[in-house]
C-alpha cells in the first residue's frame, strides 16, 4: 500500500511541474508547447487519481486480511 501512495504522490508532483511549465509557455506566447505540457499534466493527474483510489481501496482492506 505504501508503494501505491508513493507512486500517486510522484504523479501529482509530475502533474504540478507540467502545469507550471504549461503556464510559463503560455505566458511567453508558445501555446503549442504549453498545450503539450497541459496534455502531459492531464495524463499525470489521471494516473495519480487512479493510484490514489487504488491505495485508498487497499488501505480499507488492511484490517480484513
Q: Is the pTM of this model over 0.85?
A: no
28 within 8 A of 2, measured Cβ to Cβ? no
Helix (H) or strand (E) holding 52: helix 31-60
Residue 56 lies in a domain: yes
C-beta of residue 55 within 8 angstroms of C-beta of residue 4: yes
Q: Is residue 52 part of a domain?
A: yes
When divided into structural domains, the chain yields a total of 1
> Does 65 reside within a domain?
no
pLDDT band of residue 22 (cuts 50, 70, 90) is very high
pLDDT at 56: 87
| Domain membership of residue 32 as a residue range | 2-60
- Residue 34 located in a structural domain: yes
Amino acid at each position: 500500500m505504501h508503494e501505491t501512495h508513493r507512486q500517486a504522490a510522484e504523479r501529482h508532483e509530475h502533474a504540478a511541474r507540467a502545469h507550471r511549465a504549461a503556464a510559463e509557455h503560455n505566458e511567453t506566447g508558445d501555446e503549442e508547447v504549453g498545450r503539450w505540457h497541459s496534455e502531459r499534466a492531464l495524463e499525470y493527474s489521471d494516473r495519480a487519481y487512479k493510484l490514489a483510489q487504488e491505495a485508498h481501496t487497499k488501505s480499507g482492506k488492511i484490517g480484513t486480511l
